[in-house]
Amino acid sequence: MCGRIAQFGPFSEIVALINIWSDPVTVEESVPRYNLPPTAKARLLNLEGDDLVAQRVHWGWRPHWAKDKPAPINARAEKVAHGPFFRAIWPHRALCPIDGWFEWVNEGGPKKQPYFIRRRDGAPSFCASIGQFPGATQEPSEHGGFVIITADSQGGMVDIHDRRPVVFSPALAQEWLDPATPKERAEAMILQQGELSEIFEWFKVDPAVGNVRNDYPSLVEPI
């Protein structure tokens, strides 16, 4: 996963797909993003007590003791539950709802060709995430942020990139967020129950997406 996502669908519809709790506490309004890069603030859903919190959180995180290391934006499903780097945030689960993500492929030209990957049914993809989140009534912390959990690609998607985000169905997304879900079950979910490659489609898009200053709807349309 190269690290560029799109979040442009109506947030109210996204929340409604998985909301079995009270009405969400919206901390910060968000605008559609068609080319959202790492270190930007991305839409995120997490639970605070019984409330579903919908807010924008810094994409990228590192522990306070790793100041000499760049902040990762992704965490490998195979290691995230047991390695020391993400130990502090492994219990703090969230969902990053995206409309799709971009990958770049070397097809022999002078520059790599960008592709956009999305669900075939047009529904949002609920990406398993973990992080350190500001509370609904708190100011953001300099240590706050989140990472998206990734797994090995499968099927034809491996031709685009060897890693992909772990995406859950709405039912599993609810279970992932639920604090009653044991850590062992959460690990099994990211290793075994992410959506299969068959539910996704991918197509070439405008190379203009390579410039993070470009952010408009046609970037996610096929060429």
Give catalytic residues, as residue numbers.
2, 103
Distance CA 56, CA 9 (A): 15
Token duo for residue 15: 């929340």
| 110 CB-near residues (< 8 Å, 6+ apart) | none
The size of the chain, in residues, is 223
| 16 CB-near residues (< 8 Å, 6+ apart) | none
Q: What is the DSSP letter of 59?
A: B
134 and 165 Cβ atoms separated by less than 8 Å:
no
Number of neighbouring beta carbons within 10 Å of residue 166: 24
Token duo for residue 157: 């998607």
Distance CA 216, CA 82 (A): 39
